Amino acid sequence: MAKGVLVDLTKCVGCGSCTVACKLWNDLKWDPQNPTVGDKVKLNDKNWTVVGRHEVKDKDGTPVWRFVKQQCFHCKEPACASACFAKAFQKTKEGPVIYYPHLCVGCRYCMVACPFNIPKYQWEKTFPLVTKCQMCSTRVAKGEAPACVSVCPAGVFKYGDREALLKEAKSIVAKDPKYVNHIFGEQEVGGTSWLYLSDIPFEQLGFKTNVTHRPLPSFTEKYMQATPYVAITWGAILTGLYHYTKRRNQIAKENNKNIKA
């Protein structure tokens, strides 16, 4: 069964321990220019997850802080995987969308294709690779939670079966009126492995909410399936036309000769 993580943004205190766990587990360098916690966080090749601080107003108009952990959402039907022409991105049955560096050509179509702009590039390297959160796929494969999830002291995350988590999220939203009636990741681009709950509308927290609910690979599926048939039909038509027009020209020439004679 596909795994997922349920994130309750109302519980996050912005300590950033998840970002530290991520760096340690994935052996990522510290980036002094781009902190992983605060107002100016930015995902990049060294920061696979960050916790951004947002100053917003709650339902009563009181200014509040909310902390938003960002990372790859691990779409159920990932655009990056369907975009990669060398299978460098693959969705595993456990849920994580994994990157295989040895297959990567470095075309960066995955970066353009991702609706959430998650894959990042090692711009300063001679032979750069694409990087992104792998949902600690080796841990997940062993039945363990991703590193970030396992260290959270505030109980923000719940790791488990995605469908069960979704059910639970729905009942939480139904019971507690403080939450907005929207589970981010339930329907976005056909659903993601990471699901978010919040008491502040998601668009105010920097989420991309105006995305299609259709799985992105479905936009190109039919196109690619039709290709071989188009190629064969078009080839047959061209061959037919080639012989037909050649013969027609010959007949025309012969007729001309007859007239001259």
Binding residues for [4Fe-4S] cluster: 12, 15, 18, 22, 72, 75, 80, 84, 104, 107, 110, 114, 133, 136, 148, 152
Site for other proteins in 181-210 (CB under 8 A): 208, 210
Question: Which residue from 1, 13, 24, 86 is in contact with other proteins, where contact means CB under 8 A?
Answer: 86
Please identify, among the stretches 136-144, 160-168, 169-177, 220-228, the one whose residues bind other proteins according to the rule CB under 8 A: 220-228
Task: Select the residue interacting with other proteins from 1, 242, 254, 256 (CB under 8 A).
Answer: 242
Among 27, 32, 181, 223, binds other proteins (CB under 8 A): 223
Distance CA 140, CA 156 (A): 18
Convert the chain into a string of H (helix), E (strand) and C (coil): CCEEEEEEHHHCCCCCHHHHHHHHHHCCCCCCCCCCEECCCCCCCCCCCEEEEEEEECCCCCEEEEEEEECCCCECCCHHHHHCCCCCEEECCCCCEEECHHHCCCCCHHHHHCCCCCCEECCCCCCCCEECCCCCHHHHHCCCCCHHHHHCCCCCEEEEEHHHHHHHHHHHHHHCCCCCCCCECCCHHHCECEEEECCCCHHHHCCCCCCCCCCCCHHHHHHHHHHHHHHHHHHHHHHHHHHHHHHHHHHHHHHHHHHHC
User: How long a stretch of residues is the chain?
Assistant: 261
9-48 binders of other proteins (CB under 8 A): 43-44
Q: Tokens 């403080």 correspond to what residue?
A: 178
Burial class (CB in 10 A: 0-12, 13-18, 19+), 246: exposed
| Contact residue for other proteins among 40, 231, 251, 256 (CB under 8 A) | 231
- Is 82 a residue that touches other proteins (CB under 8 A)? yes
**Residues 113-142 within binding reach of other proteins (CB under 8 A):** 113, 115, 117, 120-121, 123-129
Closer residue to other proteins (CB): 1 or 105: 105
**How many residues touch other proteins (CB under 8 A)?**
56
Candidates 30, 65, 219, 256; binder of other proteins (CB under 8 A) is 219
- The stretch among 5-13, 23-31, 74-82, 148-156 that binds other proteins (CB under 8 A) is 74-82
- Measured from the CB atom, the residue of 117 and 164 that comes closer to other proteins is 117
Binding region for other proteins (CB under 8 A): 43-44, 79, 81-88, 103-109, 111-113, 115, 117, 120-121, 123-129, 208, 210-212, 216-217, 219-221, 223-224, 227, 230-231, 234-235, 238-239, 241-242, 245-246, 248-249
